[in-house]
Amino acid sequence: MLTRRLFLSALTLPVAARAFAQDQPDPQQVPQPDAPADPAQQEPQPDAPKPLRLALIVPRDSDDYFLACREGALQAVAEVQGAQLTYMAPPSEEAERQAALIDDYTQQGYDGILIAPIPSDVVIAACQRALATGLRVISFGTALPPDARSLHIRTPDVADAAPALLQTLTTALNKAGEVALLSTAPERADHQGFVKAMQREWNKPDYDDLALITTVFGQQDPRVAYAQTLAIVQAYPKLRGIIAPDMAAMTGAAKAVADLGKSQTIKLTGVGLPSRLASLVREGEVPAFVTWSPIDVGYAAARIALSVIRNEEAIVGDAPLKVGRLGEVVVDKGGMASVASLITVDKANIDKYDDAF
């Protein structure tokens, strides 16, 4: 194509040359790109969808169980476009600090709060305030009262595991020996329920030579559990076994027994995480323990919250809820839904679970 400059210069050429030039397209007739539209005349564009923001609030940071819950919640968030997750724990396990976090996310206009609450009236009150603004509040771990939550995710009851744990320990000890219980805290319902279930089992003749010599509490803190284990091993030289029906207690007790070089003489069982206990199971210090998937717990809490916020599901008593890859769960009349089930882990299946959580 001729440029405009060459086209104009062709007007001075002889007729033949001019005729050739006239066969060329007139630059002023060649379609030109449209000029940018006046922004004032453009039609308004719809606003980008508002992100759905969830806050996952747990009692303490750097806890393996809650970190696994976060992993599951992130999996659920990744399934919903525009969803976001904020994970937070107070610097120390204090109810007032956890309540302050709840109030902060409520004031920021978050859409939902997923919480493993520290049992306290101030935490309950903060959750009630969040509900009053329209937030969805889903609890797991310790159950909030019905007026302080939209739903509670109920995990397996460790009391149900009492017979299996006692049988595991008596088998490992050849039905005789001194045993200690390393539980959560004396006022907690999970401890009280476990003790009642264990007492019922312990009354059977199979356990006549298995003696419970002390009960101590790890306060759901591996460091406290570690110190308590050191103390009871020193106080009871004939100690042969420890039952720890709490993941933090199991972690602390296992480390203490290993550090004392007592792995061959003191056996542990309880509730734990495969990733923490795999080597001890293979070595025989922990003959077996029970667990459930915290990843599924976090996934269920986030997936249900997002479905309800998006009006895809409604929380109704005695009705099912769709929970993504987990299928369906049923909400009971008390506003609770059971997620996950107890898994017994031993040498035969530890390879299946040690990388899972």
pLDDT of residue 14: 32
Between CA 119 and CA 95, with CA 253 as vertex, the angle to 5 degrees is 15
| Residue 165 near residue 270, CB atoms below 8 Å | yes
Residue 225 to residue 61: CA distance in whole angstroms: 17
| Residue 181 near residue 212, CB atoms below 8 Å | yes
pLDDT of residue 2: 34
Query: Which helix (H) or strand (E) element contains residue 242?
Result: strand 239-244
* The pairing of beta strand 136-140 with beta strand 328-331: unpaired
Reading the block at residue 20, the tokens are 């050739």
Evaluate if pTM is beyond 0.85.
Answer: no
Residue 3 to residue 34: CA distance in whole angstroms: 20
Give the alpha-carbon dihedral of 259, 264, 266, 269, to 10 degrees: 100
Give the burial string for 252-280 (b: 16+ CB within 10 Å, else e).
bbbbbbbeeebbeebbbbbbbbbebbbeb
Reading the block at residue 16, the tokens are 């033949």
Q: For residue 181, which of 259, 268, 90, 276 has the smallest C-alpha distance?
A: 268
Domains of the chain are 52-155+294-340 (3.40.50.2300), 158-291 (3.40.50.2300)
pLDDT of residue 61: 86
pLDDT of residue 322: 94
Residue 101 to residue 91: CA distance in whole angstroms: 11
pLDDT of residue 134: 96
Q: For residue 221, which of 250, 261, 264, 179 has the smallest C-alpha distance?
A: 250
Sign of CA dihedral 269, 93, 148, 67: negative
| Residue 166 near residue 245, CB atoms below 8 Å | no
Give the alpha-carbon dihedral of 253, 154, 212, 230, to 10 degrees: 20
pLDDT of residue 63: 87
Q: For residue 296, which of 332, 341, 334, 250 has the smallest C-alpha distance?
A: 341
Reading the block at residue 199, the tokens are 């007492």
Q: For residue 143, which of 5, 24, 301, 35 has the smallest C-alpha distance?
A: 301
Reading the block at residue 107, the tokens are 């004031």
Kindly write down the DSSP assignment for every residue of 113-150, as one continuous string: EEE---S-HHHHHHHHHHHHTT-EEEEESSPPPGGG-S
What are the respective helix, strand and coil percentages of the chain, to the nearest 5?
Answer: 45, 20, 35
pLDDT tens-place values along the chain, 357 residues long: 333 333 333 333 333 333 323 333 343 333 444 444 454 455 555 566 789 999 999 998 888 899 999 999 999 999 999 999 999 998 888 999 999 999 999 999 999 999 999 999 999 999 999 999 999 999 999 999 999 999 999 999 999 999 999 999 999 999 999 999 999 999 988 899 999 999 999 999 999 999 999 999 999 899 999 999 999 999 999 999 999 999 999 999 999 999 999 999 999 999 999 999 999 999 999 999 999 999 999 999 999 999 999 999 999 988 999 999 999 999 999 999 999 999 999 999 999 998 889
Residue 248 C-alpha from the chain's centroid: 15
pLDDT of residue 36: 46
Residue 315 to residue 153: CA distance in whole angstroms: 12
pLDDT of residue 356: 86
Calculate helix-pair angle for 121-132, 95-107, nearest 10 degrees. 10
pLDDT of residue 342: 94
* The pairing of beta strand 319-322 with beta strand 288-291: unpaired
